[in-house]
Structure formats: C-alpha cells, structure tokens
Structure 1
C-alpha cells in the first residue's frame, strides 16, 4: 500500500503540487501518493484528526489554513512559530510537526537566480503580508542583515520588524519613501498581489530610480513577467518570477518528508508546462 501525502486548502483544484510531488515520488522510486484534500475552514480540526487516523505521513497547507492549523499540531518549528504560519507538516511517530518552507524556498530560489552573492546586500521587501513576513524572517535567519520593508501602511512593516527574533538592521517605509530611496537597494522583493492576473497593468510602486545592476524578485508567476519586472529590467536591472519560490518550497517539503533531495529542475519544468511556458 502506498504511503500517503497531500495538501489541504480551499480552493484546492488549481494546485500544481500533486503533479510536482507525484512525479518526484515516481522519479525517485518511492512508493507514495500525494493527494489534494478540499478542507473548509470550519472543518480544519476534523481534517487534521482524520489525516492522522489515515496514516498520512506529511502534507502541505495552503490558503486559508496556514495560521489556523498551528494550534492543532503537536509541535511547531521555531522559524514557523516566528513567521506565524505553517505550510508543511511532517509526521514523526504519531506526532504532527509544522514547518514553514516558503521563506527558505524563496532564499534558495534567490541564490539560484540572483547574479551576485547575497552577503552584505541591501534588501527592500515590498508588502507586509504573510509572504513578506516569511521571507523577511527567513532572510534574517540566514544572516542577511540589511532588510527594509515598504507598505501602504508602514505600521504593518513595523510589526514585522519588531517581532523578528533574528538580528538585522531594518526600517519600515511608506511606498513614497521607498520610491525616493530605491537606488539604495541591491535586491527588491515584491510580495504583494499587485500585478497578478487579471490586473496585469498595475505596479505596487514606481521603480524608475533603481540602483545600477539591481535585482528584482517578484513572487507572482501569473503572469510570468509582471509589469514591475518588465519596467525594472527595461531600466537595466535583472529579475525573476515566483516559480522558483514555489518549486523550492515544495522541494524542501519533499526533503523533510523523505530525507531525499528531489530534482528541482524537473519540478520547475512541470510547473512551467502547467503554466503554458
């Protein structure tokens, strides 16, 4: 009988994770299956109990359950606790342990795509939501020391900075302040939904004053190239979309479950094919 893994969320039909993980199981010769489970918010507690009874060995957690699942788990990894969200659950014996691979998946992607080392670089994160928090804390935990945040409401950025348990030097800016100081940053990380399909002509802020040779990472991958990335690259910068983050957070989850490092290039190809690119 195949070992069972899965993903819970609502909606869940659009998820590319089953294709990605089931291919990885087959490619690595692992007799397992990854199943999507539609779970409504009011059923999350029942679902966690059912997954344990079914013998599920690990599962991903997506919208809207990343925060709600935390008190239902037997243990939560310190980084996930700091971020305040779990996207990967690992079974150890009869215990469910929660992790967050979103931020570290982003860093792996950034290390892969950025044309220069990340050490001693100045970073600006656009947005102050859940993705921004995961990326900020994972960067700080990885030793990146200079990370600023800009947001429509700077108070949300201030909360992220204040709650960060890892050492770094940071400031929370308004969008207008960020536009005026854009040339200070080596790396721009765009974490908002601005520019996502169907609002593809929108940008979260003006980037005309970018630093020469700067890099932008936009976690959106629909479209594959957002307006802010097109504008940034037309001004001489370089950039990448959110496919890498999605792939590497999945690869890290696979590694946590199995102890085996999957072929991330193969995972990327599957996701790109599904997106039509």
Structure 2
C-alpha cells in the first residue's frame, strides 16, 4: 500500500491526485495520494514527522521547492544542480530529494515532437522565465546540446545565472526577446503568467514567431493559455503544459515504486 502526496501552497487546484491514482491503477498497486496545503511555518514539522510516518513519498510544488532542502538528508544529481526539489522519497527514516521537472519536460517533448527531439542539436530554443521550472528545463535541454539555448526574463541577472553554464546561450530581457522570436524553433513559457485565475495575462506577444515553430507553455490550467492561443494564430505548433505534468509525475512515481509508467500515458 503506497501512501503518497503533494505539499505546497496552494495545492487545491492540483491534478496530481488523479494522475497518481491512475498510475497506481495501471500498475495494480493499492495506494492513496493526498494534498497537504502547508503554511511556511508548518514545513519543518511536516518533514520531521514524515520520517516516522507511513508516507512513502511526496511531491513538492511552489513555493517550497527550495525551502525543503535544509530538512532533507540527501539530494540526487539533478536536485543538487538545480538547488530545487519536486520529489521526496522516504527511505527508512531518511528523506532523499529529487527533481524530475526537466526530465519530465524532455520526455514530453520527445513524445509530442519526436522529429524535433531527434534533431535538437540543430535547433534554437528560447526559455521565457528563470524560476525553478525554467532551471530544470534549461539543464535537461543543455545535456542534449542544442544549437542555441537562450533565456529571457524580467530580471536579466537571474537569466545570466543559467546562461553562464552553456557556451551557446545568452540572456535577454522580455522586451528584447519579443522582437527576436523568429530566431527560435522552440519557445518555452515557464512562468505562471496566464494561469487561472489570470487567464487574460500574456507574458509577451508571440506575433513575431516564425511559422511552424513549436510554442510550449508549462501552465496546464487553462490547458490552452492565451499565449498558446495567440501563438497558434501566427502559425505555431503547440505543446501543452499537462504533457510535462504527466511525464514528470511518471518519473516521480518510478522513484517511489520502481514502476515504469510512461507507456501508460495517453494525452
């Protein structure tokens, strides 16, 4: 019997329980997946208690992906590089942190646009945003050596902390990026701009994208964000946020259970 869950604030909007209950059913395992909406001052006590609880593992969402780290015993390679955790596994009374965000995005890209994925070293990519999800996606894409991997953010200094780690990369502000979109084969929106209840927000206008570029938004509520809707008007191919959500969840599920479930996903 697996006991799993999600911590964050807020979490009541999350699709994770449905996803992991689906995985449990597909693998013929019994289990539950609960939502734990925590205030910041409750975080340390929750993780302390988790060491001696029946919880096998939890996911971590905003705003706690970095804040949980001091309360963990060890981190995997991805979590160390990113200084962010989205998955915790209890091993005895020890807590181990992982990060599956970037790997989940790469797998969703592979499943949605395999031809693009197989030629990624010839592609130019722009990431909008420089938060935790952006970092995970950046480092996973970097390992596939794209021709160009740029980052645009309101605060350029945050973007430069990422681009300094890849020679074919540059940072820029959002205003400049908006004018340069026709230079990119894949544009990835990684912020919460356009997320419910602010569906009418637009991080930048996609009107300068080149036709047949892929435009991706990791926001999954709504599924079709304003950014994606506008990009489609200008000839873009779309990649929806729920795809990344499912594949990063599949990798978390594998960490907890040892079960591979990517093949069960139908989006």
TM-score normalised to structure 1 length? 0.87
- 1:26 Cα deviation from its structure 2 partner: 2.5
Q: Which moved more, 1:211-220 or 1:5-14?
A: 5-14
- The correspondence of residues 23-102 of structure 1 with structure 2, limited to 5 A, is 23-102=22-101
Label 1:229 to 1:257 Cα distance change in 2 as closer, same or farther (>3 A). same
For residues 236 and 15 of structure 1, do their structure 2 counterparts lie closer, same or farther at Cα, with a shift above 3 Å needed? closer
* Whole-angstrom CA distance in 2 between matches of 1:256 and 1:139: 21
Match of 1:217 in 2: 216
Note the alpha carbon deviations across 1:156-179, whole angstroms, 9 max, x for none. Answer: 2112223x4xx4511001223212
- Tell me, in whole angstroms, the C-alpha distance in 2 between the residues paired with 1:266 and 1:171: 35
> 2:55, 2:244 → 1: CA distance?
25
The 1:76/1:231 distance shift into structure 2, 3 A limit, reads same
Q: Deviations over 1:143-192 (max 9, x none)?
A: 43521011222222112223x4xx45110012232122211110000112
TM score, norm. by length of structure 2:
0.90
Q: CA RMSD in A?
A: 2.0
User: 2:64 & 2:217 partners in 1: Cα distance?
Assistant: 23
Map 1:202-241 to 2 at 5 A: 202-241=201-240
**Deviation at residue 206 of structure 1 after TM alignment:** 2.4
The runs of 5 or more residues in structure 2 that have no matched partner are: none
Instruction: Find the aligned partners of 2:98 and 2:197 in 1 and give their Cα distance.
Output: 32
SS in 2 for 1:90: strand
Structure 1 counterpart of 2:260: 261
The offset of 1:217, in angstroms, is: 0.5
Q: Are residues 188 and 251 of structure 1, via their aligned partners in 2, closer, same or farther at CA, if it must alter by over 3 Å?
A: same
CA distance in 1, matches of 2:10, 2:34: 14
**Cα distance change on mapping 1:76 and 1:145 into 2, 3 Å:** farther
Partners of 1:15 and 1:232 lie apart in 2 by: 26
- What count of residue pairs does the alignment treat as equivalent? 264
1:76 Cα offset (Å): 0.6
The corresponding residue for 1:146 is 148
DSSP 3-state at the match of 1:53: coil
Q: CA deviation at 1:264?
A: 6.0
**Alpha-carbon distance change, 179 to 38 in structure 1, aligned in 2, over 3 angstroms:** closer
Q: Whole-Å Cα distance in 1 between the matches of residues 154 and 59 of structure 2?
A: 31
SS of 2:42 mapped into structure 1: helix
SS at match of 2:202: coil
User: C-alpha deviations, 1:196-226, integer Å up to 9, x for none?
Assistant: 2333333211222222321000111222212
CA contact 2:246–2:265 (8 Å) conserved in 1: no
1:106-154 alpha-carbon deviations (Å, 9 max, x no partner):
1111222236323221100111222211211121134435210112222
For structure 1, list consecutive stretches of 5 or more residues without a partner in the other structure: 269-277
Query: CA distance change for structure 1 residues 202 and 264 in 2, over 3 Å: closer, same or farther?
Result: farther
Q: In the aligned structure 1, how far is the partner of 2:126 from the partner of 2:47?
A: 37
**Cα distance in structure 2, aligned partners of 1:66 and 1:112:** 26
Aligned to 2:14: 15
Greater alpha carbon shift after TM alignment, 43-52 vs 30-39: 30-39
Relative to structure 1, is the Cα distance of residues 207 and 115 closer, same or farther in structure 2, using a 3 angstrom cutoff?
A: farther
* Aligned counterparts of 1:60 and 1:254: Cα–Cα separation in 2: 10
